[in-house]
Amino acid sequence: MNLQTLRPLPKADMPPPPTVESDTANAPVLVRFEQVHKTYDERSWVVDDLHLDIRQGEFLSLLGPSGSGKTTTLMMLAGFDAPDRGRILMDGNDISKLPAYKRDMGVVFQSYALFPHMSVAQNVAFPLNLRKVSAAESRSRVQEALALARLEGFEDRRPGQLSGGQQQRVALARALVYRPRILLMDEPLGALDKALREHMQLELKAIHKQLGITFVYVTHDQDEAMTLSDRVAVFNEGKIAQIDRPETLYSRPATRFVANFLGETNLLEGTLVSRSGSQAQIRLEESGTLHEAHCSDEHLAVGDGAALAIRPENLRLAAPGEPAISAFVIDSIFHGAHCKLRLRMDRGTELAMTYNPGSLGRAAPLPGEKVALALPSSQAMILR
């Protein structure tokens, strides 16, 4: 992150870095970020050597904690901000310096940014007026956009007479009214309550399918990103930690950060003792036991410190004689559809295990009880 320690910019003809491809992402590349850097204070990069291919027609989410550079990335794509290094290509052409209004992108922000003195119809027509579209054409496009956002009948209201959800629909209609090639959204549902947010997620997904245009969606909510997206780019400190389909990110996280950011993960520290291709063996520090699991990190070598990662739903009580680690139950929590055990190993590592009530084949373990846990190899991962 420190500018002094940055590598020099690679030559422009260098091949793009390897990325994990999802098998559904065969569409042509619409937008490419090439070695994009952004700093606000000349001391640290808030977007740090970003490489990103956005494919035609995909629903891509930029997911990450607050301050990880998602909005800055979106603003550079929209043309409201410019990279300090690197470039952004659209259809292979450099658009880094192209003004926002020439980019053919619609933008929706969390704050609706509507004009309070204008009616819904006037708000939605605004981008068309800027582009000098004829009155007749404008009327029909506004109707089309209002229908898409399910706002028919609200034409004459003012934003102040609408609920938050309805105002966000107006912002959405306004962003779609000139039929942009890309719709950019920055936490657009962040101000809505949970039920409305989930409802709007389904509608956004339907609109994406109906229009077939590219959506780029910023969120810090992992459930939202997983629900909506064809692919998710997980941001951490101005870089993409991993980009892939939601299922792959969840089942094959590349780093501890991704494993923890998308759902809960148990991490058991240890040392790598052997590896062969993408399978490896780790000896756990706490229990001294050996475990084999998938390891996709090519940089991890025998002797390195590593962690065995396993989701709470993949831990289970071991059968008699099965290789296992032992832990004490600290707490047993009933959640309705599932139950959760909080466990602690002898030297303090805490674990979580979830299970369906009735599937244990025995009474639920009680706090204080010592249990043997199986770590199914096929569902565990070895991470750096």
Distance in angstroms (rounded) separating the CA atoms of residues 257 and 188: 25
Query: Among residues 22, 61, 68, 71, which is the contact residue for Mg ion, using CB under 5 A?
Result: 71
Contact 83, 73 (CB under 8 A): no
Task: Name residue 239's beta-bridge partners.
Answer: 236
Nearer to ligand ADP, 43 or 199 (CB): 43
Nearer to ligand ADP, 68 or 287 (CB): 68
Q: Residue 18 class from Cβ within 10 Å (0-12 exposed, 13-18 middle, 19+ buried)?
A: exposed
CB of 186 to ligand ADP, least distance (A): 7
Q: Is 214 in the site for Mg ion (CB under 5 A)?
A: no
CA–CA distances in Å: residue 268 to residues 299, 365, 374, 375, 382: 19, 22, 13, 11, 9
CB of 312 to ligand ADP, least distance (A): 27
CB of 248 to ligand ADP, least distance (A): 22
Which residues of this protein are in contact with ligand ADP, per CB under 6 A? 40, 46, 64, 66-72
CA–CA distances in Å: residue 287 to residues 291, 327, 344, 345, 372: 11, 10, 12, 8, 12
Pick the stretch among 8-16, 68-76, 339-347, 354-362 that binds Mg ion (CB under 5 A): 68-76
Nearest CA to 106 out of 214, 243, 26 is that of 214
CB of 187 to Mg ion, least distance (A): 6
Nearer to ligand ADP, 39 or 138 (CB): 39
Q: Measured at CB, which residue is nearest to Mg ion?
A: 71
Q: Residue 13 class from Cβ within 10 Å (0-12 exposed, 13-18 middle, 19+ buried)?
A: exposed
Q: Is 281 in the site for Mg ion (CB under 5 A)?
A: no
Q: Is 314 in the site for Mg ion (CB under 5 A)?
A: no
CB of 218 to ligand ADP, least distance (A): 6
Contact partner, 22, from ligand ADP, Mg ion, none, Cβ < 5-8 Å per class: none
